Amino acid sequence: MNQKFDAIVVGAGPAGCTCGLILAKAGLETLIVERGKFAGAKNMWGGALYGPSLNELVPGFWEEAPVERFILRHRYSLLTEEASLSTEFTTKKFGKPPYNSFSVLRSKFDRWFASKAEQRGAVVAPGLEAEDLMWEGNSVTGIRAGGDELPASVVVACDGVNSLLAEKAGLRGKLSARDMKQGVKEVIQLPRQLIDQRFNLRGEEGIAWEFIGSFTGGIPGGAFVYTNKESLSVGVVVQLSALVEKKVSANDLLEDFKQHPAVENMLADGKLAEYSAHLIPVGGKTMMPTLYTDGFLIAGDAAAFTLTTGLVLEGANSAIASGKAAAETVIRAKQRGDFSKKSLSYYAELLQKSFVLKDMETFKRAPRLLENPRLYRQYPELVCDLAEKIFISDGEPRKRLWKLFRASQKKRVSFWRMIRDFLQIKRSI
C-alpha cells in the first residue's frame, strides 16, 4: 500500500470509529487499522453504553445500531456472605428517546460502528496490527504494520489501555498496576421471557445492576449484571495490584460472585456463551499520558479517559467524545497544512471545553478513595447487619435505630474512623 493517508487511526473501538467517521465525512483520506479479525473481536466492556455523545454523531443511532436494551433501572447492592441490601433508581425519562444508556455487546456494536465509518469513505483494515511508528526527525509520519510502511500526515492512537504506540512515542511510561483494574466477564445465554420474568422487565427495558461486598475478599472492586435481549453480561472489576499482592484470580472472584445467594438464582439454567478479560485504566488524571506530539494524538482508553466516581465507571462516552475532539483537531490541522505539536495542541483545548477533562478533574480524588478496603467488607457488613436488626422479630423488645446502628458499627469500624472515611468520600465525590 503506497498511498499516503491524511490520517491513520489505530484501533476500531468507540474512539477510533468516531474519529475515523468524522475524518472521512470531512473528506480526509482515512485508514482505520484494527488488530482483531473484525471490529469488536478483541474489545470488551461491562455492557453499558451512555448515548449522548454518540447521538450527536449519529442522531437516533439506537434505531439502527445493534443495541440490546435501554437501561431503565439502575440498582446497587451490598453483599455479605449471606445477606444483601439493594437500592434502585428509575425514571420514565430513561425510557424515552434519546434514552440515557443501553446494554451493548461489543462484537456486534463495534462492527456496526466501523461500518458507519466505511460508509463515509474510511478504509477499515481488520487483522492489521500497528507494530511501530514511522518517524522523520521528531515527527510521527505513519505506522509500520504487517511488514509494510503506511505513511500519514497524522496518527491517532486509539489502541486501548496498553497502547504500544503511546509508549513508542515517548508520551507514556510503564503503567502501574495500582492504576489498573482487571475486568472479567461472561455472557450467559437465557431465554428472553425468562430474563423479563426474573428482572421484572417489559419490552426493550433493561437493568444495570452493580454489586460490592464480600465476594472480593476485601480487594477493591465490584461486580455487575446487565440484561441483554437474550443473555446476561456478568462480571467483576477489581484492582490489579491487589490481585497480584494477594495472589488471587479475578476469575475465582467471579465464580464466588455467581454463587452468592442473591445472584445464583438469576443466573440459573443459563448457558455460557462468551468469556473475556480486559484491563481498565482507573487512575484518573494521575495516569493520563501526554496527549499529543508532532503528527500524533492519543484518544480513548489509550489516554486513560475512563471516569471513576464510585457509582459510575464510564469509558465509552469519553472515548467517543475524545475521538470527536481528535478528528476536529486533525481537520483543522489539515486546513492549515500544519500537523506540528503546536497545531495539535488544539486537541487539549477541545477536551478542556468538553465534559471529558472537566469530569476527570471533578473526580480526580475518587480513584484513591476506592482503594479503601473497608468499602468492600466492613461497611457492607455493617449496613446488612443493621438491616437485619431492624427487620428481625425475635420476641425481644425493639431498640431505637441509633442503638441498633451503634451495636452494628462497634463490631466493625471505630466511630472516628468512620467519620474520617465519610470526610474522604465527601472530598472525593
Q: What pLDDT, on the 0 to 100 scale, is given for residue 2?
A: 64
Residue 259: the pLDDT is 96
Please report, rounded to a whole number, the percentage of residues in the chain having pLDDT higher than 70: 100
How confident is the model over 57-70, as pLDDT tens digits?
A: 999 999 999 999 99
Fold of 178-281: D-Amino Acid Oxidase; Chain A, domain 2 (3.30.9)
162-177 mean pLDDT = 93
- Residue 330 has what pLDDT? 98
- The CB-based long-range contact list for 80-84 (8 Å cut-off, 24+ gap) reads 80/213, 80/214, 80/380, 80/381, 80/384, 80/385, 81/214, 81/260, 82/261, 83/384, 83/387, 83/388, 84/213, 84/260, 84/261, 84/262, 84/384
The pLDDT assigned to 46 comes to 78
Residue 209: all three cell numbers together: 445492576
Q: Residue 187: what pLDDT?
A: 97
Give pLDDT, residue 43: 82
Please write the tens of the pLDDT for every residue from 378-406: 999 999 999 999 999 988 899 999 999 99
pLDDT for 155 equals: 98
Task: Evaluate if residue 145 carries a pLDDT over 70.
Answer: yes
State the pTM of this model: 0.93
CA–CA–CA angle 260, 193, 276 (5° rounding): 50
Band (13; pLDDT cuts 50, 70, 90): very high
| Average pLDDT score over residue span 143-170 | 95
DSSP alpha helix (H) spans, 247-338: 250-258, 264-267, 316-336
Q: For position 1, what pLDDT does the model report?
A: 55
The yes-or-no verdict on residue 335 having pLDDT over 80 is: yes
Q: Which of 80-89, 311-320, 357-366 has the lowest mean pLDDT?
A: 311-320
Supply angle C-alpha 291, 106, 100, rounded to 5.
Answer: 80
* 5-68+103-172+286-363 has CATH 3.50.50.60 classification: yes
Beta 48-50 vs 101-104: how paired, if at all? antiparallel
Domain ranges for the chain, please list them: 5-68+103-172+286-363, 178-281, 377-428
State the cell numbers at 275.
468469556
Asked if residue 295 has pLDDT above 90, the reply is: yes
